[in-house]
A and B are shown apart, each in its own frame.
Chain A
């Protein structure tokens, strides 16, 4: 019963390095999302994908790119990491609108 799986769980990057956060869901959900959580800020939407082959910007997309590789997988890429991207990143998926979203366990990213 995996649900939403994110890798890695922890990562430390140097400023300017790149990396990709991976996310996969096994619930056959159409929609997938990437959020970041910062202290005192709640969760903010970075990018989302309403269906395979489509992606759209959320509230805080600058500095990120995404790929909806197939229905199961939705990756988030940082091309040139900055200290302001230090955060906890959550991937989520939902079946349709007006159904609950299921979240992964998060990736704690530190950019030094």
Chain B
């Protein structure tokens, strides 16, 4: 059973608009959440993270929101740029783990000029 779910396989947005990528999780022991970006033929690169003691974290154009009661997090990209086109993975690690990350299946974002 999937513990981290990204229910939208793809998302298309216009350049300059907001991109919102969503992620749901089922394991209440998760205490740290991350977003990774992946281009074809490259390894995932870290974007932004959030601890379960917070509900928001910002880094430039990227903001992650965490709603613990709903077991939901989202990544907002404002404004979206064509270079943001990539696959975005949501990941989480659990209390007591050794930092092992559980990944969602990813959402492919396409930003059109």
Flag whether A40 is at the interface (Cβ < 8 A): yes
Chain A, 95-112, contact with B by CB distance < 8 Å: what is the 0/1 string? 011111111111000000
CB distance from B66 to the nearest CB of A (A): 14
Which residues of chain A are near B36, meaning CB under 8 Å? 103
- Which of chain B's residues have a CB closer than 8 A to the CB of A43? 44, 89, 91, 101, 103
Chain A residue nearest to B52 in the complex (CB): A98
**How many interface residues does A have (CB within 8 Å)?**
28
On whether the beta carbons of B103 and A42 are closer than 8 Å, the reply is: yes
Task: Using A98-B93, A106-B42, A106-B43 as known contacts, say yes or no to A40 and B105 having CB atoms under 8 A apart.
Answer: yes
Q: Mark B92-103, 1 if CB is under 8 A from A, else 0.
A: 010001111111
Q: Is A56 an interface residue, CB under 8 A from the partner?
A: yes
Number of B residues with CB within 8 Å of any CB on chain A: 27
Contact residues of B between 19 and 35, Cβ < 8 Å to A: 31-32, 34
In the complex, what's the smallest C-beta–C-beta distance from B97 to chain A, in angstroms?
Answer: 7
Q: Which residues of B contact A78 (CB under 8 A)?
A: none
Contact status A44-B46, CB under 8 Å: no
The answer on a CB contact under 8 Å between A100 and B46 is yes
Contact status A56-B98, CB under 8 Å? yes
Of B43, B98, B100, which one neighbours A103 at CB under 8 angstroms?
B43
With A42-B105, A56-B98 in contact, is A4–B43 under 8 Å at CB? Answer: yes
Q: Which residues of A lie under 8 Å from residue B104 when comparing CB positions? A: 42
Can you sample 17 A-B contacts with CB below 8 Å? A42-B4, A42-B104, A43-B44, A43-B91, A44-B103, A45-B102, A50-B98, A92-B43, A96-B99, A97-B32, A98-B51, A100-B34, A100-B49, A102-B46, A103-B45, A106-B41, A106-B43
